[in-house]
Amino acid sequence: MGDQIGKKVIELRREMGLLAAIAAGVGSIIGSGIFKKPALMATQLGSPELLILVWVVAGVMTLFGALSIAEISGMFQDPGGQYIYFNKGYNKFVGYLYGWAVFIVIQTGSLAAIAYVFSDSLGTFVKFPHLPAAWENVSVPIPFIGVMTPFKSIGLKLCTIALIAFLTAMNYLGVKFGSAIAVIFSALKIGVLVAIVVLAFALGHGDIGNFTSAAPLAAAAGSPSVFLMFIMAMAGAFWAYDAWINITYMSGEIKNVQKNLPRAMAITVLIVIAVYILINLAYIYIIPVPTMAAKYSESYLVAVDVAESFLGKWGGAAIAIAIMISTFGAVNSIAMMSARVYFAMAREKLFFRKLGRIHPRFRTPGTALIVQGAWAAVLVFSGTFDQLTDMLIFVSWIFYALAAASVFTLRKRMPDTPRPYKVWGYPVTPILFVLFASVYIVFTLYSDIASFAAGRAPIINSVMGLFWVALGVPGYLYWNRKRKKESAETALEA
């Protein structure tokens, strides 16, 4: 599928090798979660053993999901990855709903949120301008979501938008630019995290006893409340592991895609699991879990205390730089990969047609990249991206479960299609992932309803996530009807 100018058909270029694909995958997964989530998880679990176990279980389940999708990724070469897999494994309606959710907030909201964290960390060194208080306090209520504050922290928001615009431009200029940034910043972020681990154990004033020092909550291990807390803590770990599926979006530009894409997915997740477990061990060695829990606040970062243990007063600045490196790479990888979903939807004539255009010189989905960046900027200005992403995490896991289950539907529908890689441990691996995802979905829904009933939350986030996905249905009806009409007219002309 390509654009045609005269007799020349313009296609996306397959310029991404295995190393670049792994770097892009690692780059999109490791963002701010590993810095921001451990303290919250400590308050939920109260136990070092449970904290590490959460990261291990979440990592293994993510790996099982990646191994399952890897089989499907080896079957197809079309751009759009998981969107295409849903079309093949189920139908175009399921594929469209996934693509719509990715566009409306799953990836654009992540883009906005992670870029915002970059700017917030930059604020450690730069003082951002503010508007007068009268402007800062302007708020616009949005039913069932929250309050939009477009002029609050205007300097920080403009910096966030500038970062999104810059990395959108880099990826607009060619997949080689985006891939080079991914390789450089993925290497940097892993190097920084490994350095924190090594220096914490070598120079930090830690205690091995911290690995068995628990807060009172852990004493009730095995009770229903602790199990629920474990599931809730999984949400933090899954946020940090999220985006593992993004590399499939680049399936139209990866060299030898049917072999390299499955390899890239498995290697990426294994690298991230190892890094996350090591960094959490370093955190616990320096800061006991009860202390993490006691010091928890929205702005508290365990990594700062850890860095101060071997860098002194410069620890906070060092972690701010580490977060900037990590989030810069994540924003680049998410921007590069996610635009391919809307591009593929447009090529299937199930989204705005102009998003399916390929730039004649740079061979990138330029229009899709620009529209993605513009919508992410709107979310930044609105200030609602955190609320929206909270709502859509629940929906993401519904799609993850469906994705793994499509291994079975495709083996039935397309038994003779070559599979360069078949999922390890079939059928146990995909079944375990689907079952775990289903349990996670049910308990997330239960937790959201309980929080709403107790007055701790103004809305049921998971239900509102489904509502946002449902908003895309009229679009599907319109584009599908238009597509069928055009097909019928073409058939009559023939």
Q: Tens-digit pLDDT profile for the chain (494 aa)? A: 456 544 455 677 888 899 999 999 999 999 888 998 999 999 988 889 999 999 999 999 999 999 999 999 889 888 888 999 999 999 999 999 999 999 998 899 889 989 999 999 999 999 999 999 888 888 888 776 667 788 888 999 999 999 999 999 999 999 888 999 999 999 999 999 999 999 999 998 889 999 887 765 544 444 557 777 888 888 889 889 988 899 999 888 899 988 999 999 999 999 999 999 999 999 999 999 999 989 888 778 899 999 999 999 899 999 999 999 999 999 999 999 999 999 999 999 999 999 999 998 999 999 999 999 999 999 898 877 777 777 778 888 899 999 999 999 999 999 999 998 899 999 999 999 999 999 888 888 888 888 888 887 777 888 888 888 999 999 999 999 999 998 888 777 76
The whole-angstrom separation of Cα 315 and Cα 203 is 13
Q: Is the distance from CB of 177 to CB of 171 less than 8 angstroms?
A: yes
* Burial per residue of 184-217, b for 16 or more beta-carbon CB atoms within 10 angstroms, e otherwise: bbbebbbebbeebbebbeeebebeeebbeebbeb
For 206, which DSSP code?
-
Confidence at residue 297, expressed as pLDDT on a 0 to 100 scale: 83
Question: pTM of this prediction?
Answer: 0.89
Cα(118)–Cα(127) distance, integer angstroms: 14
In this predicted model, what pLDDT tens digit does every residue of 242-300 receive, in sequence order?
Answer: 888 999 998 888 999 889 999 999 999 999 999 999 999 999 999 999 999 898 887 78
Which CATH code fits 16-484? 1.20.1740.10
Distances in Å between the alpha carbon of 66 and those of 122, 144, 229, 430?
33, 34, 25, 9
Question: Which pair of structure tokens corresponds to residue 107?
Answer: 């990836």
Say what angle helices 92-101 and 82-89 make with each other, to 10 degrees: 150
| CA gap 148, 256 in Å, rounded | 45
Cα separation, 475 vs 452, whole angstroms:
31
- What are the residue boundaries of the structural domains of the chain, listed by start? 16-484
